[in-house]
Amino acid sequence: MEKNVLIIGASGDIGRSIVMRLAKEGWQLMLHYNRNIRAMEANRRRLNNQSILMEIQADLSDQAGINHLLNQLVFPVDAVIFAGGSAYYGLFQDTDEQTMESMLTLHVKAPWTITKHVLPSMIREKHGRILFITSVWGEAGAGNEVVYSSVKGAQNSFVKALAKEVATSGIAVNAVSPGFIDTKMNQHLSAEAKEEIIHDIPANRAGTSEDVANTVRFLMDERSDYIHGEIIHVSGGWRS
């Protein structure tokens, strides 16, 4: 039976690795992106066109973009993966209200709204997967990333609570919490700062987007059916 997965943030480094991994497993893909059209073109070049059901461009940091995405969902959604988002660096006292609002909408309200939209059909089918890519900072917190840490912490709480509510309907809700992953999100760090972080990682290397995608693949598999409400670290032992 073909299975349809909606991947939010399919144009990011981690999102693209998830796309490729799940395509190999036979999932039919509904791919969301915001601005990175080149990454979506690269997805199409690397994949069998039959793997991609649709692509949806939407800015999920405002309500209009959320509504647009929901209006485009014409196929059944058997699973949804929230792999999108953006970081924000700076002192909390210097963070303006507009940034706070857009970060809350992008990381909290949009996933709430999308999940609420797809849940009824999953409940009817007695099966579904809802998966978040969060962050170790959602549990540990990070100075100069207070807003980002807060919204990722909210995602973790949502996962734990919703999992208890829908497990009896055959729906598994979990999160993958990456540590230091070698992606564009960390390009602002100097080479010296990266080396210092890697020195603190027991596995002695940065993680890759494929490390995250492999964990996602397992959680999407039926062999993970008894895993509910978990925040699984992919961190090489760092800050876990």
Q: Are 232 and 219 in contact (CB under 8 A)?
A: yes
* Residue found under tokens 């999940």: 115
pLDDT score, position 236: 92
pLDDT score, position 48: 66
Q: Is the dihedral of CA 108, 110, 116, 122 positive or negative?
A: negative
Q: How far is CA 5 from CA 28, 151, 215, in A?
A: 6, 24, 16
pLDDT score, position 191: 81
- pLDDT band at residue 232 using 50, 70 and 90 as cut-offs: very high
Over residues 72-89, mean pLDDT: 94
Q: Which residues lie across from 56 on neighbouring strands? A: 32
Between CA 70 and CA 58 the distance in angstroms is 10
Residue 196 has pLDDT above 90, yes or no: no
The terminus-to-terminus CA distance of the chain in angstroms comes to: 37
pLDDT score, position 102: 96
| Number of other CB atoms surrounding residue 187 within 10 Å | 8
Q: Are 79 and 53 in contact (CB under 8 A)?
A: no
Looking at per-residue confidence, does 48 or 101 come out higher? Answer: 101
Between CA 17 and CA 20 the distance in angstroms is 5
Q: Does the global pTM surpass 0.75?
A: yes
Instruction: Provide CB contacts within 8 A for 144, sequence distance 6+.
Output: 89, 90, 91
Looking at per-residue confidence, does 212 or 197 come out higher? Answer: 212
pLDDT score, position 92: 92
- pLDDT band at residue 85 using 50, 70 and 90 as cut-offs: confident
Q: Are 176 and 131 in contact (CB under 8 A)?
A: yes
Q: What is the pLDDT of residues 144-179, one digit of tens each?
A: 789 999 999 999 999 999 999 999 999 999 999 999
- Read off the tokens for 80: 């949804």
To the nearest whole percent, how much of the chain has pLDDT over 90? 77
Strand ranges inside 83-168, DSSP E: 128-133
Over residues 218-240, mean pLDDT: 92
Mean pLDDT of the chain: 93
Q: What are phi and psi of 9, to 5 degrees?
A: 85, 40
Domains of the chain, first to last? 3-234 (3.40.50.720)
Q: Which residues lie across from 163 on neighbouring strands? A: none
Q: What is the pLDDT of residues 12-54, one digit of tens each?
A: 999 999 999 999 999 999 999 998 999 999 888 888 667 999 9
* Residue found under tokens 């990456």: 178
Q: Are 198 and 162 in contact (CB under 8 A)?
A: no
Instruction: Provide CB contacts within 8 A for 168, sequence distance 6+.
Output: none
- pLDDT band at residue 9 using 50, 70 and 90 as cut-offs: very high
Catalytic residue IDs: 148
pLDDT score, position 240: 53
Alpha carbon 71 to chain centroid, angstroms: 21
